[in-house]
Chain A
Amino acid sequence: MVLEIRNVSKNFGGIHALKDVSFKIQEGEIYGLIGPNGAGKTTMFNLITNIFEPTSGQILFHDTNITGLKSHKITEQGICRTYQNIRLFSQMSALKNVMVGGHCRSSSGVFSSVFRTKKQKSEERGLTQKAEELLDLVGLLEHKDTLAENLAYGQQRRLEIARALASNPKLLLLDEPAAGMNENETDSLYDLIKLIQSKGVTVLIIEHDMPLVMKLCDRITVLNFGEKLAEGTPYEIQNNESVIEAYLGREEDVEIA
């Protein structure tokens, strides 16, 4: 079991953002987290990476309890994320962004950084090389010296994925990676995520693009108003009465409006 969410709830000043949610993610899966806006998906990410602590419940990573562990420790353990609103280091080059991602897999301190010890030099070379490989993987190697803020939107999303991968995650959390992408970009995103999976990384993805989710995910959990509505394979989810109601009901509303 890579990740186990056990009866997790989160209240914000009396409002239930999440209510008693549980699910388990197996090794090597691509796991989808879907639901209407405000269903608590991003809150779930924030709880896993401990930006907030859950009001109750536990989060287990490889069967160890990581609830309440500091964010940077959680990354060290092997969980890394991207953000729904892209949060790159905008004034840094693409390469440096990815190198920051490798922070917790390197160890040079002040002394060795200033005096450029042998170990520090080889570590920097290793970091640079790995960052270039990752940029190549997401197709941004030719832009490695471009400042992050000057990249196109789709490129920024891919850079964020490369940055997260630089921390050698065992579990990668993607928050709406296809948002704002056109069909071609979405197709190559599909290939990229499959490639990441083939390298042995488990993926938990929040996404609104349903065709992509159904094609990509091995299993899916549906959240609605902070509660778990359903869990299953894409086929099961597509044929689940309450999911159809929650989704189609809304879509009809939209069409009428």
Chain B
Amino acid sequence: MLADFINPYHLQIASFILINILLAISVYVPLSSGQLSLGSAGFMGVGAYTSALLTIHFDLPIFVGVLVGAAVAGCLGIIIGIPSLRLSGVYLAIATLGLGEVIRVIFVNWESLTKGSIGLTGIPQMGRELLKLARNVGIEPAMFGLRNNQFVYLMVFVILLILVIGTIWFVFRQQNSRIGRSFSSIQMDEKAAESMGINITYFKVLSFSQGAFLAGLAGALFAHVMGYISPSDFSYHRAVEILIFTVFGGSEVIIGSIFGAIFLTLIPEVLRFVSEYRYIIYGIMLVILMAVRPQGILDIHLLSKFKRLKRSKGGVR
């Protein structure tokens, strides 16, 4: 039976992995045009709060809330992206980190709207809404031999999976086009890119706000998966965690972000048996990795090696 294979706990972790992949990509995209942004946690918070408030107070459907949340974060990305053009490298990193902190402090202090540091509860949950919807059309989880909570977690997972695959497809295709070439030329040599006729302002703001949009999207989804959010979900720690996904996996290639998000979300789960020491191990691991492979686990050279290996195997056959 299908029901025997579906473990809600595993599905939930899988859902968090998917959200984290979106977040990792939200750092990867600006980075592909040479902009190191630590603002993802802040943009994530903007998306989460926007969508949560809209669905709670105005009874909007979840998907509308998520879209608006992501769009608001994306617009904020444009507004922040334009003045940030003057900054590069670590300056931009710290400024965006600061932006995230400012956003978090606003969430804490704007109590009439955000309920302060306690956070928002009673956010409509995506899984439950989907179950309701299914029942309205006359579909019961029992028809597939599933319990209600299994159905709920499965639906959430499937929706997130579709969104993540769509995002990866989007970014991948964009990367292999005129847009992607402009991003990477700016990353490699901004002045030369400009003298090749590339409008630096446009493309940098484009990639920065795409990152903000993705972070907002991930945040809004996070709110509707969790059902409650508080400012501490979008703190410095989250910003750093997201950056680490991308850099650990390899920031040069999109597959690196995906790998980093999967691996680093799983690690604390796997290390549960040493739960007390897991963050100590995590810290040591980062130091060792950077010393051994500063470009992250996956890079272009490693990937092309894989490709050659595959090809040569095919040749033997």
Contacts and interface: CB of A to CB of B under 8 A. Distances in A.
> Do A and B touch (CB < 8 Å)?
yes
B177 A120 contact: yes
A256 interface: no
A181 interface: no
Interface in A49-107: 49, 51, 70-72, 75-76, 80-81, 83, 87-92, 96, 99-101, 103-104, 106
Contact of B179 (A113, A123, A167): A113
Interface in B156-213: 170, 173-174, 177-182, 184-185, 188-189, 191-200, 206
A75 B174 contact: no
Interface residues of A, number: 37
Given A108-B178, A109-B179, A124-B177, A167 B197 contact: yes
Contacts of B173: 113-116
Contacts of A101: 196
A113 B196 contact: no
The B contact surface, by secondary structure, is helix
A163 B181 contact: no
Contacts of B180: 113
Contact of B196 (A70, A91, A109, A167): A167
27 contacts: A49-B195, A51-B191, A72-B195, A75-B195, A75-B196, A87-B189, A87-B192, A89-B188, A92-B184, A96-B181, A100-B193, A103-B178, A103-B181, A103-B182, A103-B196, A103-B197, A104-B198, A108-B178, A110-B174, A110-B206, A113-B178, A113-B179, A114-B173, A123-B178, A124-B177, A163-B196, A164-B196
Interface of A: 49, 51, 70-72, 75-76, 80-81, 83, 87-92, 96, 99-101, 103-104, 106, 108-110, 113-116, 120, 123-124, 127, 163-164, 167
Interface of B: 170, 173-174, 177-182, 184-185, 188-189, 191-200, 206, 300
